[in-house]
Each structure stands twice: as structure tokens, then as C-alpha cells.
Amino acid sequence: MADSCKPTMIANNGVMDHEFRLAENDTDFGERIEYLKRSGYVLLCLFCREDYATRDLFRLTYIFESQENRHIYEMEYGTSCNAVSIAELFPTASLYEREITDGFGIPFSGSFDTRRLILHAAYPKDFHPLKKSFRNGPVNVREYVPEEELYKFRRLEGKGVYEVAVGPVHAGVIEPGHFRFSVIGEAIFNLETRLYYLHRGIEKLAEGKKPAECLKIAESISGDESVANSVCFCLAAEKIAGIRPSLRAETLRGIALEMERICSLLSDCAGMLTDVAYPVGASRFMALKEECMRMNKKLFGHRFIRGYITIGGVSADIGSTDLLLLESFADRIGESVKEAYDSAVTSSSVIDRLATTGIVRQSLIRPLNLTGPVARSSGGRRDVRTDYPYGIYNHHTPEIPSHDTGDVLSRFMQKAEEIQASARFIKSITGEMPAGEIKTSGTDIHDGCAFAMVEGARGQNLHYLEIRDGKIWRYKVRTASFTNWLSIEHAVIGNIVPDFPVINKSLNLSYAGNDL
Amino acid sequence: MKGFFGKLIQKPLTERIEVTDSDFERYGSMLKAEINSVFKRSIAIREVDCGSDNAAEIEINNLSSPYYDIERFGVTFVASPRHADVLFVTGAVTHNMRYALKKTYDATPSPKFVVAIGDEACTGGIFKDSYAICGPVSSVVQVDLEIPGNPPEPVEMIKGLLTLMKKAKTD
């Protein structure tokens, strides 16, 4: 192994450092990728950006992680027109590569899947919105799409095989997506998901804006992840600007992050019980969630805590009376969740539907880079809050529960336990509320680029921000949903179609957060 | 046997949740009266997400939570547009969803009402200038009522429905 292949430590102690390693000539590119694969690295993200200085060069950034040593390895590859696919070694790269081909028009040689991903058939051919030459604005889409240009699903044929097509408009109050099941008898033996119906062009929309203007966009990535995404965006912007929020601001952010996690997980638990026709249990979780949202409105001024996180800190303080209120509220939530949980898991009909349903095997965690409660209920142990602590998590370490069986039941237990852990965490940080400013007054935003990672309710969110001339040049978002979505195609195999809703709910993947 | 009779005389297992939202209750009973006079008992709503970030969907789902329980005022959410009187449309309509929205609209029997929910659905909101959207809901289908908000809270949605029923009465 050549010395140049050795990974560089670029993330340490919370704040992600970045170091660009240029590989203009691709002679050792393949060698490096193979080395990373052999050494058990996981692909965290792959994205492209146009070079600011030369403008005619595309830079592909590969972010790998070694999970044993908890370090991040970043590799860059410059190209003017084409690239080499690494999907044979890192299968999840296929999605990133398709995304880049759509956005920038760069083909990947050796790729096993070249279908369009984010741009559906209505978009014209040779339309690549992330190129700088394209100025954001209305596009003439096609009314008529020729037959041969329609999306080609993988076709599975054989005796007794039939297809069930679901979506994009589903039967419930839920986001749009399309599922194509191949079924024999009752058992699903293949599922292909097709998403991006909610593609709103978030990354392009951020370009050319000042960082503060982009906060609203970060909040709109996914409905119940407003805080996680805006904190992640702010961490990247603050790193570029060299701002460090005060400990009080970090604590307030911590409260907001954990309140958001509690809301989201309560809704998951309610959803799982609804989907197995146990409304008595579901109602208790739903009622608790409403109480949490009302608490959010009281503390932060918005039910989804929007407009609260700002670059340098937060927009409003919480008074001491409200803090006391929050403490007792956290206690009550913890107790009520335990009661609601006990009532659900002592119902044999609930256990019957949840146990052994929709298993996500532990062996999938690394190849697919599964994160969040989905990975932690299948024997995973990762959590950005403890792996790469940021903000308040540098000072307080949350409890991270985990489970092993990987079925819907273990995800239900995992989520119920995470709610209680978050409630205890809120209580412990509000008990030691430090004094100080809530917002560090901003120095000018410098040019530069930075990564940040945040553990949202669904898992690891990664934001990359590049600022040139005080404006955003490139904003790349990779949410936990983007990687976790792949788990559903594995989890449903061998299950029956009527169990799909509960499997889907237990994974709780965001469509908007994936489609961007 | 004893267990069976014991169950008959025991207290209900459900607990009473104290509803504190007096506004919601007030608008709810007004809505119930309007629905009774216009639709003779109940209205059915089909929800279509055309580009929302899911926050509006969360609030719409909350309408069915124990705190609001909108069904007692005669409002039900249905699984198919063919069963619906009203379409709740959220989000600025993405190009990728435009065709599905049109088909859903066409599948809804007339007379039908379309309600645009949230800032993006009403005006395009922050996505107004994006290449990926074709515009607010009104650029694709005819909209009867707009409920702005980021996202609108449950009480704003019930107020909106009340306005819609009054509108339906006069139309």
C-alpha cells in the first residue's frame, strides 16, 4: 500500500476540519478506492461542485468514514467531463452518481444504473440544473413524454409473479412516492422505490444567497427536522466565519434539538400503533406529541421551532419560569411515555404484528450507511452526538439506547426509549443552564467551505457549505433519509404487502428530506 | 365468568383528556352546523402533497389527534379522491408531481373544492424562483380557498373549513 493512500484524520473533537486532497490525475484513484473498501470504510457522501477559480472543472468530493477509529476521510477528484463509477465497490454510490449525472451532466463510466434520478421524465433532455451556466428560473417541461423515455422499473418475471404499484399519491395523509412490489402469492420478493416527487431544487435555490437568507431553506428541507437541519447549516456557516456560540446558546439549541427529536419519535410510535389497528395506544402517543408541540410554541414561538436557530446562536431566550416548567414537563413526558409503551407492549395483538416483521439485518448497516434509530435497533451503535460531538454534546453526553433484533418491534422499543433518554437529557441540561449571551454577534462571513454533521431524529445529517464572495456557491445536503431509504427495499422482503405500512412507518423516512 | 362480569362494571379504560383549546371547540361547533346545512352531515377530504416539506401533513394529521378529533364535527379524511368532496393540497407544485395532482383532481367527483394549505401552496413561498416547481396550486388546478401559514396550525385549518362551507353555501 502506497503511503499516499493512508487516510487523513480530518474530523476531531466535534468540529469537522476539512482538508482538500487534490487528485487531478486519476492514476491512483482506483487503487485508493480499493484500499478504502478493503479497510472497511463506509461511504458517507459523494457530491459534485463546480470549481470557483477555473469554472470549467468539476470537483467530486468523496467522504468516507472509518467506523472503528471514528475518523473521516475526504477525497477529491477533479474532472472536466467524465468520471469513474465506484458503485461496484460501494453500491450506495450509485444513487449519488445518478444524482450528479442529473445535476451536472457528468457521466460515470462503469455504472450499473444510469436512469435519471431527481429529474423525472417531464424535464427536457440535457437539462442540468446544478451547473453554474443554468440560471435558476422557470423551465419549460414537456407535456408529452415519448414511451421509450418513461422510467424503466426493474422487471421480475416468472410463474405466479405479479406487480403491485402504489403511489405517488398514497391512501393516507402522507408524502408522495412510488413503490413497485413484485409479489408471489402473498410474499413480497422485490420492492423498487421511486422517489423525488418532492424535488424542489433546494440546493440550487440556496446558491447566490447570503448564508442568513438560506436559513429558511434549511428549515424547509424536512418538516419535522427544522432544528436539526438549521443547526447543521449554522454549524457549517459558523465554522467558516469562525464564530462560536455561547454555552447558553448551545444549551438552548440542545433543548430545541431534543424537543424536536421527542416530537418526531412520539409521532413514529403513534403511527406504528395506528398501522396495526391499536388506536387506544396510538392516541396516547398522539396526545403527548400535541403537548410537546404546544410546549414548543410556548418556549420557542413556533410549533415546529422555526425561525429560532440563527447563525451565531438562537433568536430568543427562555426565562427561568419557563425553564422550570420545561423541567417538570420533561419528567412528565418520560413517565407518560413509559406508561403508554407498557400498555402497547402488553397487548398480544400488537406484539404479534410487530415482532419479526420487517427485519433490517445488522450486516446492512455498513454497506448502506444506515444511521439513527433504524441502525441502532439493528445492533448499530453510532450516533453523531457521541461520535463527533457538537454544541452542547461536547459538555453533556446523552444516553444512547440500542437493540439488536432489527424488526419493527425493536424499532418501536428503540424509539420509545430514545424519547425517555431525550427527556432526561433535557432535564439534565436545563438544570445546569449557564448564563451568557444567546447570540454571538456576527463577524463577516468569510469565504471558505466546511462540513457539519448533526444527529437528527432520523439519524446523521450532513451539510456541506461553500461560500464565495460572501454568497453561497455550493450547498450540499445529505440527510439520514437519503441513506436509510435503501433499507426499506431489504426490510420488506418475505413480508406480506399488508405489513408494508407498518414497516414503512417504523423506518419513518422523510420523502421531502430525500428529494430536496 | 367472574372476569367477564367484572369487566362490565369496571370504569372505562380510556382516560379523559382535558381539552384546553376553546377556540377550536367554538369553531368546530360552528363548522358542524355549516356542514349539516350544506352537506347534510359530513364532508370527506382527500389530502395531496405536491411539494410540501411534510410540516403541513403533520398538522393535518394532528387534526385527528385526541386533542382536536375533528371527526366529531363531521370532517373525515378519506383514502381515495373518488370519495372526496374537498382536496387539501399542500406545497408548491413540483414538476414531478404536477401530473399526479391533475389526475387526482380529475378523479375527484364534481362538485369539488380545492383548498391550498400553507404559504408554498398559496403563493409558491420560498420556492417561487426554483426551476423545480411549476408554481402555486392555483397554477395547476382551480383553487377555492387559501389557508396560508408555515404551516397553518390546526385552529387555522378549521377556520378555513368554516369559510369554505360558507362559500359553498352561497355558490
What pLDDT does residue B169 have? Answer: 80
Mean pLDDT of A40-52: 87
What pLDDT does residue A470 have? Answer: 86
Inter-chain residue contact B53 with A134, CB threshold 8 Å: no
d(CA A354, CA A273): 9
pLDDT in tens, A440-457: 876 667 888 888 899 999
Q: Which residues of B touch A129 (CB under 8 A)?
A: 131-132
* 3 state SS of B159: helix
Does residue A136 register a pLDDT over 60? yes
Inter-chain residue contact B134 with A141, CB threshold 8 Å: yes
Does residue A24 register a pLDDT over 60? no
Question: With bands split at pLDDT 50, 70 and 90, how would you rate the model's confidence at A308?
Answer: very high
What pLDDT does residue A7 have? Answer: 34
pLDDT in tens, A344-387: 888 888 999 998 999 999 999 988 999 999 999 999 888 989 88
Does residue A112 register a pLDDT over 50? yes
Alpha helices (runs of H) in A243-389, residue ranges in sequence order: 247-275, 279-300, 320-345, 348-354, 365-368, 372-376, 384-387
Q: Which residue of A has its CA nearest to B153?
A: A303
- Nearest by Cα to A103 from A52, A50, A153: A50
What pLDDT does residue A15 have? Answer: 35
What pLDDT does residue A62 have? Answer: 86
pLDDT in tens, B119-136: 999 998 899 889 999 989
Query: How confident is the prediction for chain B on average, in pLDDT?
Result: 87
Residue A145 half-sphere exposure, CB side, CA atoms within 13 Å? Answer: 15
Inter-chain residue contact A290 with B65, CB threshold 8 Å: yes
Question: With bands split at pLDDT 50, 70 and 90, how would you rate the model's confidence at A56?
Answer: confident
> Considering only residues 118 to 157 of chain B, which have any Cβ-Cβ distance to chain A shorter than 8 Å?
126-127, 129-134, 150-151, 153
Residues in Cβ contact with A500 at an 8 Å cutoff, skipping those fewer than 6 apart: A179, A181, A188, A492
d(CA A92, CA A191): 16
Question: With bands split at pLDDT 50, 70 and 90, how would you rate the model's confidence at B62?
Answer: very high
pLDDT in tens, A240-289: 888 888 999 999 999 999 999 999 999 999 999 999 989 888 989 999 99
Residue keyed to cell 403511489: A167
B18 to chain A, any CB pair closer than 8 A? The answer is: no
What pLDDT does residue B37 have? Answer: 86
Per-residue buried b or exposed e for A457-494, using 16+ beta carbons within 10 Å of the residue's own CB: bbbbbbbbbbbeeebbbbbbbbbbbbbbbbbbebbbee
The pTM score is 0.90
* 3 state SS of A352: helix
Inter-chain residue contact B127 with A201, CB threshold 8 Å: yes
Inter-chain residue contact A134 with B98, CB threshold 8 Å: no
Inter-chain residue contact B130 with A136, CB threshold 8 Å: yes
Question: With bands split at pLDDT 50, 70 and 90, how would you rate the model's confidence at A71?
Answer: confident
What pLDDT does residue A436 have? Answer: 81
What pLDDT does residue A228 have? Answer: 94
Question: With bands split at pLDDT 50, 70 and 90, how would you rate the model's confidence at B19?
Answer: low
Does residue A478 register a pLDDT over 90? yes
Does residue A19 register a pLDDT over 50? no
Inter-chain residue contact B52 with A512, CB threshold 8 Å: yes
* Longest distance between any two alpha carbons in chain A, whole Å: 70
Mean pLDDT of A139-163: 85
Query: How confident is the prediction for chain A on average, in pLDDT?
Result: 86
Contact B111, B141 (CB under 8 A): no
Cell of A89: 465497490
pLDDT in tens, B138-171: 999 999 999 999 899 998 999 999 899 888 888 7
Q: Which residues face A309 on adjacent strands? A: A314
d(CA A230, CA A232): 5
CB nearest to B79's CB, from A171, A200, A280: A171
pLDDT in tens, A349-359: 899 999 899 99
Residue A25: which region, alpha, beta or left (left: phi > 0; alpha: psi -120 to 50)? beta
ipTM of the complex, rounded to two decimals: 0.88
pLDDT in tens, A313-341: 899 888 889 999 999 999 999 999 998 89
CB nearest to B49's CB, from A176, A286, A290: A176
- The alpha carbon of residue A272 and the mean position of all alpha carbons in its chain are separated, in whole angstroms, by 20
Q: Which residues of B touch A137 (CB under 8 A)?
A: 129, 131
Does residue A421 register a pLDDT over 90? yes
d(CA A449, CA A50): 13
Per-residue buried b or exposed e for A374-388, using 16+ beta carbons within 10 Å of the residue's own CB: bbbbbbbebbbbebb
What pLDDT does residue B7 have? Answer: 64
CB nearest to A122's CB, from B95, B133, B151: B95
